[in-house]
Amino acid sequence: MTDKNFLTFSESDWRERLDPASYQVLREAGTERPGTGRLLNEGREGTYACKACGTVLFDAGTKFDAHCGWPSFYEAKDGAVSFIEDRTLGMVRTEVRCAACDSHLGHIFPDAPQTPTGNRYCMNSVSLTFVPADGGDVVEG
């Protein structure tokens, strides 16, 4: 990421703001176990925001079932995310981070031909907060 104008806190501030599972994913680039996320089967209209800072990342209308075990989206909000080459685990992937606070969200893959963009944003539930359009209860992943 070349623009470093994102929201920053000290690591101790992040630890206070986030539960341990969210901290491990958002700040240490961890991954939750597939099929375990609270937002995997969320199907209501609304938006998905970064759990760390509240930046809106995805519209619920871009969510689809990729059968991969994590919430998947085919398009992010303009300017909401940044991309970084990830060469961990012996693979070359593209990491997706929140553009506002530089938190790890998941990865993007160009393997979704059934979507308008062909992309699959494979996101960790614990990195997201779902805000329903009907004003109902917010759900943290």
Instruction: Determine, yes or no, domain membership for 1.
Output: no
Q: What is the CATH number of the domain that holds 27?
A: 2.170.150.20
Q: Does residue 60 carry a pLDDT above 80? A: yes
Instruction: Output phi, psi for 16, to 5 deg.
Output: -70, -35
Q: Does residue 1 carry a pLDDT above 90? A: no
> In which band, very low, low, confident or very high, does the pLDDT at 2 lie, cut at 50, 70 and 90?
very low
Region 43-60: mean pLDDT is 97
| Model pLDDT, residue 47 | 98
Domain of residue 68, residue span: 11-33+41-136
3-state secondary structure 28-62: CCCCCCCCCCCCCCCCCCEEEEECCCCCEEEEHHH
Those residues whose C-beta lies under 8 Å from the C-beta of residue 111, and which sit 6 or more positions away, are 118, 120
Contact yes or no for 33/24 (Cβ under 8 A): no
User: How many domains does one find in the chain?
Assistant: 1
**Between residues 26 and 89, the one the model is more confident about:** 26
Contact yes or no for 46/56 (Cβ under 8 A): no
| Model pLDDT, residue 88 | 82
User: What residues are annotated to the active site?
Assistant: 122
Show the DSSP H helices in the chain as ranges. Answer: 11-17, 20-26
Region 112-127: mean pLDDT is 96
> In which band, very low, low, confident or very high, does the pLDDT at 6 lie, cut at 50, 70 and 90?
low
Contact yes or no for 61/74 (Cβ under 8 A): no
Q: Does residue 140 carry a pLDDT above 60? A: yes
Instruction: Determine, yes or no, domain membership for 84.
Output: yes
Residue 66: which region, alpha, beta or left (left: phi > 0; alpha: psi -120 to 50)? alpha
